[in-house]
A and B are shown apart, each in its own frame.
Chain A
Amino acid sequence: MKRARLLAGVSVGALLIDVGVCAAQMKGSIFGPGTRSYPVAVASLKNLSGPAAEDVGTRFADIVGRDLTLSGYFKILDRSAYIEKSESSGYTVDSINFDNWSVLGALALVKGGYTVQGDNLTLEVRLFDVYQRRQLTGRRYHGSVSELRRMANKFADEIIAQFTGERGPFDSRFAFVSTRDGKFKEIYVMSPDEGDLQQITKNQTINVSPSWSPDSRSLLYTSYKRRNPDVFLIDLISGRETLLSQRPGLNLGAKMSPDGTKVAVTVEDDGNADIILLDRSGKVMRRLTDSWAIDVSPSWSPDGKQIAFCSNRTGSPQIYVMSADGGAARRVTFSGDYNTSPAWSPKGDLIAYVSRSEGEFNVHTVKVDGGEPRQLTQGARNNEDPSWAPDGRYLVFSSSRSGHSKLFITDVTGSSQVQLTHGGGDDSSPAWSRWLE
């Protein structure tokens, strides 16, 4: 029920799926991460409802193309070169002249049509294998015109599923911190294609560390708006905000458990940061760490049984893992003298973190049970704040590589890195939500 408003009526018809289609031969070998080489044509959708409808068809194609580019797997062919025009052609196997697409070098083709009636948008879209001249998948979406972006993001995820065997990560949202509207760090939310930007805080103080509830409906964040750094929980649909943790001193880096019932948060005791566990209403359940050292930045394992965190208990900040009940901690990072910002992969196997060496801060991953870390970024002063995509194949992070701090997406190997945010100000501390449904 609570989903109903979030989705606001987007429904998916699977009626168009071509039974018996097998894309198996397209999965695997031709798709290395970061190959960015698989040429796809994404045609504007055909307007089936007569004049006056918004330019839904082009916007849909733009968003799908943008998502596919971010994935690092695809090269989107320039639409101005398309021979077959959407308005004068069909979008079924029988009505497409595949020669018009193979001559452009397209191996795959996205075509479809839409109708707009009042605020209602119905959209049919299909993915074709140009070489084999057949449909790989198709979807029908119903919803309001304002949900066009979600429909496009969902179909991009479906295309990625067809080619890689796993659903893409783009039917989701990002929360992040930005100074784009002034000198203060405020919190924003947007879709992965940089659309639907929404400013969440406007208090002109310091706002940091946004994180999502597992249902992608609420945000936790720390704000100085009451002058002390307190943790707030805001429901993005109702707009209702509650003060979750307001102890004197730090209330920081709150993260909700995967089942949504608990919140791990860093608080301050006599100047020292420790991690405690709250229930959803903010009541203290138990203390998780109790050392003389800094313990900060909890990150839940996907099964909710363990928590990764950063501690300087050995003299320098390192990544540790402990039971979600607290108790003894096991050290995970051993190289370098500055390892912070742990983020546990939704697949469970890796912890991403930031490591300092030779004056640079870079995003790394390490297996939860130890082993050699893998460095994903390089060549900039700061590559920080990793946060995992819902599919566990991508990370978003902030980087100063283009001057100002901006958000970038990388695949899990580091071989494909694409800039996500543009414009003025510094963007930092991204948090990638779970899938929206």
Chain B
Amino acid sequence: MGKRLLGVVVAGLLVATIGVGCSAKKKGAQAGTEGGSGVGEEGLGGGGSLEQYKAGTLGAGEEGPLKDIHFAFDSIDLDETARGILRDNGNWMKDHSGAKVEIEGHCDERGTVEYNLALGAKRARAAKDYLVTLGITQDRLSTISYGEELPLCREHTEECWAKNRRDHFVVVSE
């Protein structure tokens, strides 16, 4: 575990170095730096899911300060568990008033690629709307859908699908 953490830090520093001068490009470069900057501070998310997928770390179970929420099949409804997690995530954002967060909407593998991309967008939007009702300003929240493209878990079981039907929260700047 210690070894792995070191790897993340090194990778993060490399990305951070490469990323110098690209800060205006936001998201992509910044998300990649979080492994580095996060470890030194509060243990931020470790980058967006696409960056993690590229790095081979997606689904490895690393936890940032913000927790995932989960959905039923073909649903965008926020159940009580999801709303509870969103309140915690909202409180963290209130404590870190400079933080901006990207909300990723994901689906399980079942169904159609295009429909799932649209469903992921609605899942991300549902969380964003709820966070706004909690008092988080819109300009601190962005959304992106990955549909069924970036599963955490690749078995064809309900247990696995349930993990994949998620909103993931990435701190993109603080």
Taking the closest CB of chain A, its distance from the CB of B95, in whole angstroms, is: 26
Report yes or no: B115 in contact with A228, Cβ–Cβ below 8 A: no
In the assembled complex, the Cα of A216 lies from the Cα of B146 at a distance in Å of: 29
Report yes or no: B53 in contact with A273, Cβ–Cβ below 8 A: no
Chain A residue nearest in CB terms to B119? A294
Taking the closest CB of chain A, its distance from the CB of B23, in whole angstroms, is: 15
Taking the closest CB of chain B, its distance from the CB of A230, in whole angstroms, is: 12
Report yes or no: A340 in contact with B28, Cβ–Cβ below 8 A: no
In the assembled complex, the Cα of A250 lies from the Cα of B114 at a distance in Å of: 10
Report yes or no: A185 in contact with B54, Cβ–Cβ below 8 A: no
Report yes or no: A227 in contact with B28, Cβ–Cβ below 8 A: yes
Taking the closest CB of chain A, its distance from the CB of B12, in whole angstroms, is: 18
Taking the closest CB of chain A, its distance from the CB of B153, in whole angstroms, is: 15
Given A297-B115, A340-B111, A428-B113: A185 and B122 interface contact (C-beta under 8 Å): no
Report yes or no: B50 in contact with A224, Cβ–Cβ below 8 A: yes
Report yes or no: B53 in contact with A183, Cβ–Cβ below 8 A: yes
Q: A285-339: which residues lie under 8 A (CB-CB) from chain B?
A: 294, 296-297, 310, 312, 316-317, 338
Report yes or no: B115 in contact with A340, Cβ–Cβ below 8 A: yes
Report yes or no: A252 in contact with B143, Cβ–Cβ below 8 A: no
Report yes or no: A294 in contact with B145, Cβ–Cβ below 8 A: no
Report yes or no: B74 in contact with A297, Cβ–Cβ below 8 A: no
Chain A interface SS verdict (over half): strand
On chain B, the number of residues with a Cβ less than 8 Å from chain A's Cβ atoms is 29
Report yes or no: A361 in contact with B110, Cβ–Cβ below 8 A: yes
Taking the closest CB of chain B, its distance from the CB of A177, in whole angstroms, is: 8
In the assembled complex, the Cα of A224 lies from the Cα of B118 at a distance in Å of: 15
Report yes or no: A296 in contact with B124, Cβ–Cβ below 8 A: no
Selecting from A46-54, A62-70, A164-172, A263-271, the interface stretch reads A263-271
Which of A229, A382, A384 is the one whose CB lies under 8 Å from B145? A229
Selecting from A35-43, A200-208, A238-246, the interface stretch reads A200-208
Interface string of A182-220 (1 = CB under 8 A from B): 010100000000000000000011101100000000000
Chain B interface SS verdict (over half): helix
Taking the closest CB of chain A, its distance from the CB of B78, in whole angstroms, is: 13
Chain B residue nearest in CB terms to A294? B118
Is B121 interfacial (CB 8 A cutoff)? Answer: yes
In the assembled complex, the Cα of A305 lies from the Cα of B117 at a distance in Å of: 27
Taking the closest CB of chain A, its distance from the CB of B129, in whole angstroms, is: 8
Chain A residue nearest in CB terms to B29? A227
Cβ–Cβ < 8 Å partners of B163 in chain A? none
Cβ–Cβ < 8 Å partners of B143 in chain A? 249, 271
Q: A381-412: which residues lie under 8 A (CB-CB) from chain B?
A: 381-382, 384-385
Chain B residue nearest in CB terms to A400? B156
Chain B residue nearest in CB terms to A207? B149
Given A204-B54, A224-B50: A209 and B113 interface contact (C-beta under 8 Å): yes
Chain B residue nearest in CB terms to A381? B156
Report yes or no: B74 in contact with A273, Cβ–Cβ below 8 A: no
Chain A CB within 10 Å, residue with most, of B112, B124, B126, B149: B112
Report yes or no: B112 in contact with A250, Cβ–Cβ below 8 A: no
Given A227-B27, A229-B145, A272-B121: A316 and B114 interface contact (C-beta under 8 Å): no
Report yes or no: A316 in contact with B74, Cβ–Cβ below 8 A: yes
Which of B110, B118, B149 is the one whose CB lies under 8 Å from A206? B149
Given A229-B145, A250-B145: A297 and B121 interface contact (C-beta under 8 Å): no
On chain A, the number of residues with a Cβ less than 8 Å from chain B's Cβ atoms is 40
Given A250-B145, A252-B117: A340 and B27 interface contact (C-beta under 8 Å): no
Chain B residue nearest in CB terms to A295? B118
Cβ–Cβ < 8 Å partners of A385 in chain B? 112-113
In the assembled complex, the Cα of A316 lies from the Cα of B117 at a distance in Å of: 15
Is B125 interfacial (CB 8 A cutoff)? Answer: yes
Is A75 interfacial (CB 8 A cutoff)? Answer: no
Q: B21-38: which residues lie under 8 A (CB-CB) from chain A?
A: 27-28
Chain A CB within 10 Å, residue with most, of B117, B118, B129, B146: B118
Report yes or no: B122 in contact with A272, Cβ–Cβ below 8 A: yes
Interface string of B69-103 (1 = CB under 8 A from A): 00000100000000000000000000000000000
Given A341-B112, A356-B111: A266 and B118 interface contact (C-beta under 8 Å): yes
In the assembled complex, the Cα of A297 lies from the Cα of B74 at a distance in Å of: 17
Report yes or no: A206 in contact with B125, Cβ–Cβ below 8 A: no
Cβ–Cβ < 8 Å partners of A338 in chain B? 74, 111
In the assembled complex, the Cα of A250 lies from the Cα of B121 at a distance in Å of: 8
Cβ–Cβ < 8 Å partners of A340 in chain B? 111-112, 114-115
Chain A residue nearest in CB terms to B115? A340
Can you sample 22 A-B contacts with CB below 8 Å? A209-B114, A227-B50, A229-B117, A229-B145, A250-B117, A252-B118, A271-B124, A271-B128, A271-B129, A271-B143, A272-B122, A272-B125, A273-B117, A273-B118, A273-B122, A294-B119, A296-B114, A312-B74, A338-B74, A341-B114, A385-B113, A428-B113
* Additional 4 contacts, C-beta under 8 A, given A206-B150, A249-B143, A338-B74: A268-B145, A271-B128, A271-B143, A272-B125
> Using a CB–CB distance below 8 Å, which chain B residues touch chain A?
27-28, 50, 53-54, 74, 110-115, 117-119, 121-122, 124-126, 128-129, 143-146, 149-150, 156
